[in-house]
Amino acid sequence: MSLDIVQMVLVTVLAAATPLILAAIGELVVERAGVLNLGVEGMMVFGAAAGFAVATETGSTGLGALGGAGAGLLLAALFGVLTVGLAANQVASGLALTILGLGLSGLVGAGYVGMKRDPAPHLHLPGFTDLPGIGRLLFGQDAFVYAALLLVAGVWWFLWRTRAGLTLRAIGDDHTATHALGLKVRKVRFLAVLFGGACAGLAGAYLSLAYTPFWAPAMTAGRGWIALALVVFASWQPLRVAAGALLFGGATVLQLHAQAAGLGLPGQLLSAAPYLATILALVLLSLGRRRGGSLAPAALGRVFAPSR
């Protein structure tokens, strides 16, 4: 019985971490390529609205997920044209993208406020899913959760085990030198930005299709910003992104369980717990970094304009 409660809590922790993993792993690739896209929140919320709209119109959660990813990709393409193509300021463009995404999501979602759908189906393997203690945790999630975990593994493999990944990291560290070597800096960066956008859009679609299957204005409620912080927190390492997302998702969900269990702390303090945990983790990490940890990609946020 108690084992089942632990499992139940872990299932909700994993679910709460999934949108953060999806958005953060995309942004990690973008930043590894040397581009800082602060528009994650905007791409995510637009993905949530568009994903819900597509799923409702077509009746298919899968198409909805594609629609959400596509919406994020569309906004990212705009960002890519501005910052990679036209060498516009990345910080300003990213902030503008967040505002644009929030506005567009309101526009697209206007007709869908208050509508509901069934949540995305959960995996059910007879025999496996019913295993006590771990069955639901390992074999009972929805497709988004498995996709998020596969993405983390895939991005890790890509960045550290493939030549293309090496190129991408090199471009993020020194765009001038890699350009001189004949590597296609702008093409790689643009593709990375598109990938990040699709991931952020998918993260939004997860919220509106699986996590809480409805659309509500501004429902991402700052998760895009948390994903951005997670990338820093994780020192631009994919596996640490997943760990950080689980930590943050865990703090979010556990504070709710703590309140419901009647822990004698004020609700306001418990609500702040995830953020306090993030700050604490960032402080501890930066202390560790003095002894030589991983650093940000050297060219992060710097505009690249090739001289011909």
Partner 1 sequence: MSAHSFSRRHLLGGAAALSLGALPFGRARAAGPLTVGFIYVGPKDDYGYNQAHAQGAAALKAIPGLQVVEEENVRETTDVQKSMESMINLDGAGLIFPTSFGYFDPHVLIEAKKNPKVQFRHCGGLWTEANPKNAGSYFGYIAQGQYLNGIAAAHASKSKRLGFVAAKPVPQVLNNVNGFLLGARSVDPSITLQVIFTGEWSLAVKEAEATNALIDGGADVITCHVDGPKVVVETAARRGAFVCGYHADQSALAKDKYLTGAEWNWASIYKGFVADMQAGKAPPNFVRGGLPDGFVKMSPYGPAVSEAARRNADAVKAEMMKGGFAIIRGPLKDNKGNEIAGPGTALAENAIELEKTNYLVEGVKGSA
Instruction: Report the amino acid identity of residue 42.
Output: G
Among 95, 216, 282, 296, binds partner 1 (CB under 8 A): 216
The Cα–Cα gap between 277 and 165 comes to 32
Size of interface with partner 1, in residues (CB under 8 A): 33
Q: Does 264 bind partner 1 (CB under 8 A)?
A: yes
Cβ atoms of 214 and 52 within 8 Å: the answer is yes
Of the candidate residues 122, 186, 257, 302, the single one contacting partner 1 (CB under 8 A): 257
By CB under 8 A, the residues from 226 to 255 that bind partner 1 are 252-253
Question: Which of 62, 133, 266, 293 lies at the binding interface for partner 1 (CB under 8 A)?
Answer: 266
Closest by Cα among 293, 286, 246 to 148: 246
166 Cα distance to chain centroid: 22
Q: With binding defined as CB under 8 A, does residue 271 bind partner 1?
A: yes
Q: How many CB atoms lie within 10 A of CB 116?
A: 12
> Which residues, 103 to 162, sit near partner 1 by CB under 8 A?
113-114, 116, 119
Rounded CA separation 105/101 (Å):
6
Report how far residue 184's alpha carbon sits from residue 192's, in angstroms, rounded to the nearest whole number: 12
Cβ(235)–Cβ(300) below 8 Å: no
Q: Which is nearer to partner 1, 204 or 297 (by Cβ)?
A: 204
Give min distance, CB of 241 to partner 1, in A.
Answer: 21
What are the residues binding partner 1 (CB under 8 A)?
5, 8-9, 12, 16, 113-114, 116, 119, 207, 211-212, 214, 216-217, 219-221, 252-253, 256-257, 259-268, 271
